[in-house]
């Protein structure tokens, strides 16, 4: 019998060129550096935006000009918000602001601070809710049941019916859970109320 000779093929391992590894590493580092630069740009833009916003708010407060705004719309988009309309020298303006909670009702009134020479530049102050002179109100006692760094939740009763409300309070005001205060409420809609913490 004839047998064919088997040739042994040597096994070879391909080595990755060193330049290829270096290039991949360089690409990764370049990508990370680009991401860092983009993040830094967004950070700077955000800081500049906050600086201009703070500067604008300071100018509004320095102007010390106020009027009464009426809530015309509420909603929720990345948090609760409210839109108030107000009038200055016969001209109508609107201001949208993040609301302290969803317990904000259309028809409510809050103090609007605005820049005297630029009435469109304004702040909706949720710490200063007011009733108009022609609105019929009554009062009862409310109890604070929850408090965080900016708002309080309080409960109160009107004609045997329980109500609860959230209210933003001024910075620096000392309040505690369990404290009781007078609550002024709208007779036609007791949901609309003010905890008299001033």
* Average pLDDT value for the chain: 85
CB contact at 8 A, 142 and 183 = yes
pTM attached to this predicted model: 0.70
Query: Among 27-31, 125-129, 187-191, where is mean pLDDT lowest?
Result: 27-31
Note the pLDDT of residue 10: 57
**Tens-digit pLDDT profile for residues 67-77:** 999 999 998 87
Confidence of residue 28 (pLDDT cuts 50, 70, 90): confident
Q: What is the rounded CA–CA span in Å between residue 102 and residue 189?
A: 16
Residue 17 is predicted with a pLDDT of: 59
The mean per-residue pLDDT over the stretch 180-196 comes to 97
* Whole-number pLDDT of residue 26: 81
CA distance 137 to 155: 17
Q: What angle do CA 115, 198, 187 make, to 5 degrees?
A: 95
The reported pLDDT for the residue numbered 183 is: 98
- How far apart CA 107 and CA 104 sit, in angstroms, is 9
| pLDDT value of position 19 | 66
C-alpha 166/C-alpha 44 separation (Å) is 35
The gap between the terminal CA atoms of the chain, to the nearest Å, is: 114
- How many other C-beta atoms can be found within 10 angstroms of the C-beta atom of residue 56? 15
**pLDDT of 91:** 97
pLDDT band at 144 (very low <50, low <70, confident <90, very high): very high
Residue 4 above 70 pLDDT?
Answer: no
**What is the separation of C-alpha 49 from the centre of its chain, rounded to a whole number of angstroms?**
15
Q: Cα(7)–Cα(173) distance, rounded to whole angstroms?
A: 93
What pLDDT score was predicted for residue 46? 57
Q: pLDDT of 30-78, one tens digit each? A: 888 888 888 877 776 655 544 444 545 788 878 789 999 999 999 887 7
């Amino acid at each position: 019998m004839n047998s064919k000779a088997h040739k042994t093929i040597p096994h070879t391992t391909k080595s990755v060129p060193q330049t290829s590894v270096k290039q991949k590493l360089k690409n990764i580092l370049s990508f990370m550096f680009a991401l860092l630069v983009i993040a830094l740009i967004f950070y700077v833009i955000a800081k500049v935006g906050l600086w201009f916003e703070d500067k604008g708010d300071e100018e509004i407060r320095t102007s010390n000009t106020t009027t009464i705004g009426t809530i015309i719309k509420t909603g929720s988009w990345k948090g609760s918000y409210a839109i108030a309309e107000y009038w200055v020298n016969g001209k109508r303006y609107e201001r949208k602001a993040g609301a302290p909670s969803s317990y904000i009702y259309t028809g409510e009134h809050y103090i609007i601070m605005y820049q005297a020479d630029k009435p469109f530049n304004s702040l909706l102050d949720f710490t200063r809710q007011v009733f108009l002179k022609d609105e019929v109100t009554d009062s009862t006692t409310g109890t604070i049941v929850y408090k965080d760094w900016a708002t309080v939740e309080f409960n109160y009763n009107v004609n045997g019916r329980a109500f609860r409300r959230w209210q933003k309070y001024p910075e620096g005001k000392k309040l505690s859970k369990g404290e009781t205060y007078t609550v002024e409420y709208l007779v036609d809609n007791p949901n609309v109320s003010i905890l008299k913490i001033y």
